Structure 1
Amino acid sequence: MIYLDYQATTPLAPEALDAMLPWLAGPAAPGFANPHSPHRAGRAAAAAVEVARAHVAALLPPGGRVIFTSGATEALNIALAGSGARALAVSAIEHAAVLDTARALDPDLCVLRVSTDGRVAPDVAIPHGTGLVAVMQVNNEIGTIQPITQLAARAHAMGALFVCDAVQGAGKLAAPDGADMVAISAHKLHGPKGIGALWVRDGVALTPLIHGGGQEGGLRSGTLSPALCAGFGAAAALCKSRWTSDGEHVERLWTKARALFSDWTLNGSADERWHGNLSLRRPGLDVGRLLSECRNIAFSAGSACASGSGRPSHVLRALGLSDRDSKSTIRIGFGRYTREEELEQAAAVLNAAAQAQGV
């Protein structure tokens, strides 16, 4: 299997797995202890959690705190619902974790339009009285990078909070500048599934959604998993240490991929995007058939979160593309563990299968 679906999830780093194993130990070792217990084993587990928190915080802006959550979806729910804001504005290409939550909170939600290359203009119209603006750093379907600094400044000038879904950018790009809250997910940066984090700027007050033991500063009750935290922390630390080499590797893969898929049409900006995301379309392509015929390649027909829904991509619609264009689009994602020869092999198979369809 050639894995080319890095936007859906990334392979677990061996270093992250190694960091997790001691905290999954059984009764013969104290690694299973509850990090909220006062005894020695509990304090050791709590120390491991705090080491992990520091590593995750290093990927995020200074001047805030990191709250561990079950994932970015929970983090975004805490940010939007916990803020108390009811007049919301979000970009048209947000992940469902933002769009659906925002719609539930504000039936009159303002949806900010994007250009045909998938970017929110820094001077986009934001209604007077908006209390919270949410724009993602990197889009999960088409990879476009948004002008977060300018948009956050606009939000603050009108007295609104700014929330950024940085799931696809964390560990790859500089932390979003100017945001009041930032959500990230471990499994999108080579950590384990089941854990994420919400960064909250100092001075921002939130109401908890989950009540109970008062963990995570009272914002998110529940017993933390030292194993998941340790894996998240190790993955975050690895992103920092491999920042340059990972980035250079992705650029080489991007250049090669653009040549290998030269007769496909790119969705979104070619320049203002994360180059580990290749969203491509080919008129008349039957993507369902392509997926069936290329079973040894893991790639996506758009966003993995919407696969199987039968609905055309709201992201591609926002770019002005037709539903037919959406249904002829594939997404290829690559990164740290992708080898150039794997990309070449996959391209040969995908191109041949597309050509066999006569498109």
Structure 2
Amino acid sequence: MVKRMALYLDYGATSPVRKEVLDSMLPFFSEIFGNPGSIHDMGRQAHSHIQAGREQIAHAIGASSPREILFTSSGTEANNLAIIGTALYHQKRGNHIITSSIEHPSVLEACRYLEQLGFEVTYLPVDRFGQISVLDVEQAITPKTILISVMAANNEVGTIQPIKQITQLIKDKEILFHTDAVQFFGKLPCDVEELGVDLLSIGSHKIYGPKGIGSLYVRKGVRLTPLLHGGGQERNWRPSTLNTPAIVGFGKAASLIAGELAAEKTRQEEIRDYFWRGLQQLGDVVLNGHPTDRLPNNINVSFERLEGQAILLELNRKQIFVSSGSACSAGKHLPSHVLMAMGNDLDNAYQSLRFTIGKDTTKENIDYVLSELKKITHYLKSII
């Protein structure tokens, strides 16, 4: 029996740990294993490597100081700390938050939790491409607005949001701006000074680093109310023993991807566009998201008259791994809130698939996927 080639096209969900990253982490499991909070030599050694990782991440996102980098367990925790922590700290000044209707669940659920505490949240609509309007942001601002949280790029359809225009709009106002850049970081230039953000969330496992580690950029002068209580780690904002191996790996991954960004962006855009041209040849395929203002590695499409999960399962049988939406809502088989917010009907939402390419994806891989998709879609149409 000929073994099928396994092909991973779900880099938007997670990525494999690079060998260089794994090698950098290994000594910190059993050799340099001291608690970085300890004052003895083993602890100080671990602490110094954490600081090196902090510096690597600060450099990768253009932060002015490593002290602006706060480690969390994930992008989800970073989003929760940014939104809930900001809201609680500034609640005496105002209780209004603005976000978009297509945010990651970790943002939307954090906002819904705050609504239960008496905060008011405006969920901005998006156009058919998944972009918010800067004018809508401006019109939503009230004297009680304390925070705006808009993702840099959507995790499902890849649409890029006008972050810089929004931060320019509020630069003279006492409103903080947070962006979920978990999908954006490592795909496009991510400079906090250029973007003008006050808070920015990123994660490790989307950039070939380990799972279980994320980071929140907190601009100097910004204050938060901690969500956890205990030790004094991370300036009392995120008490927990720091995960030294993961931080070392995160720093290494961030450093590597920052050095490769320009070339990899161009390469992935070429493969993405090549893939889209091939998908169009299948017929009855609709692109979801903005045609140009989108992540270089994201292709989200709907196959007319065919259920996305049926295609996904057939692809899985061929050992081709893709997604039908956000990894954080997998298994729920609910229509994508992103596609619905973009004005799609239920049929279109259920007909969607997300393909996300990575650093190992080639045009030959895409040719193979297209050939299998042609067979699968032909078969499924024949049994409708």
Normalising by structure 2, report the TM-score: 0.89
Q: Secondary structure at the match of 1:8?
A: coil
Provide structure 1 residue ranges, at least 5 long, that are not aligned to the other structure: none
**Which residue of structure 1 aligns with residue 115 of structure 2?**
106
Q: How far apart are the structure 1 equivalents of 2:76 and 2:342? A: 24
**Which residue of structure 2 aligns with residue 349 of structure 1?**
372
Match for residue 213 of structure 1 among 216, 227, 231: 231
Kindly indicate whether the alpha-carbon contact (under 8 Å) linking 1:156 and 1:162 is maintained by their aligned counterparts in 2: no
**Which residue of structure 2 aligns with residue 37 of structure 1?**
38
Kindly indicate whether the alpha-carbon contact (under 8 Å) linking 1:88 and 1:106 is maintained by their aligned counterparts in 2: no
Identical aligned residues as a percent: 36
Task: Give the superposition deviation at 1:208.
Answer: 1.0
**Which residue of structure 2 aligns with residue 121 of structure 1?**
133
Task: Give the superposition deviation at 1:158.
Answer: 4.0
Q: Secondary structure at the match of 1:67?
A: strand
**Which residue of structure 1 aligns with residue 352 of structure 2?**
329
**Which residue of structure 1 aligns with residue 3 of structure 2?**
none
Q: Secondary structure at the match of 1:312?
A: coil
One-letter amino acid of the structure 1 residue matched with residue 56 of structure 2: H
**Which residue of structure 1 aligns with residue 13 of structure 2?**
8
Kindly indicate whether the alpha-carbon contact (under 8 Å) linking 1:266 and 1:281 is maintained by their aligned counterparts in 2: yes
**Which residue of structure 2 aligns with residue 305 of structure 1?**
328
Task: Give the superposition deviation at 1:248.
Answer: 2.1
**Which residue of structure 2 aligns with residue 239 of structure 1?**
257
One-letter amino acid of the structure 2 residue matched with residue 77 of structure 1: N
**Do residues 142 (structure 1) and 157 (structure 2) align?**
yes
**Which residue of structure 2 aligns with residue 50 of structure 1?**
51
Match for residue 271 of structure 2 among 237, 244, 253: 253
Task: Give the superposition deviation at 1:269.
Answer: 0.7
Q: Secondary structure at the match of 1:109?
A: strand
One-letter amino acid of the structure 2 residue matched with residue 283 of structure 1: E
Kindly indicate whether the alpha-carbon contact (under 8 Å) linking 1:265 and 1:282 is maintained by their aligned counterparts in 2: yes
Question: Which whole-Å deviations, capped at 9, do the CAs of 1:288-332 have from their partners, x for residues lacking one?
Answer: 222222211110012222222122111001110011100000000
Q: How far apart are the structure 1 equivalents of 2:172 and 2:370? A: 47
Kindly indicate whether the alpha-carbon contact (under 8 Å) linking 2:309 and 2:351 is maintained by their aligned counterparts in 1: no
**Which residue of structure 2 aligns with residue 74 of structure 1?**
77
Q: Secondary structure at the match of 1:187?
A: coil
**Which residue of structure 2 aligns with residue 292 of structure 1?**
313
**Which residue of structure 1 aligns with residue 182 of structure 2?**
167
**Do residues 283 (structure 1) and 283 (structure 2) align?**
no
Q: Secondary structure at the match of 1:199?
A: strand
Question: Which whole-Å deviations, capped at 9, do the CAs of 1:42-74 have from their partners, x for residues lacking one?
Answer: 111111111111111112233350000001111
Q: How far apart are the structure 2 equivalents of 1:11 and 1:347? A: 23
Question: Which whole-Å deviations, capped at 9, do the CAs of 1:254-305 have from their partners, x for residues lacking one?
Answer: 1211121113210011111112000000111122222222211110012222
Q: Which protein has the bigger helix share?
A: 2
Task: Give the superposition deviation at 1:350.
Answer: 1.9
**Do residues 97 (structure 1) and 106 (structure 2) align?**
yes
Kindly indicate whether the alpha-carbon contact (under 8 Å) linking 2:189 and 2:261 is maintained by their aligned counterparts in 1: no
Q: How far apart are the structure 1 equivalents of 2:182 and 2:74? A: 10
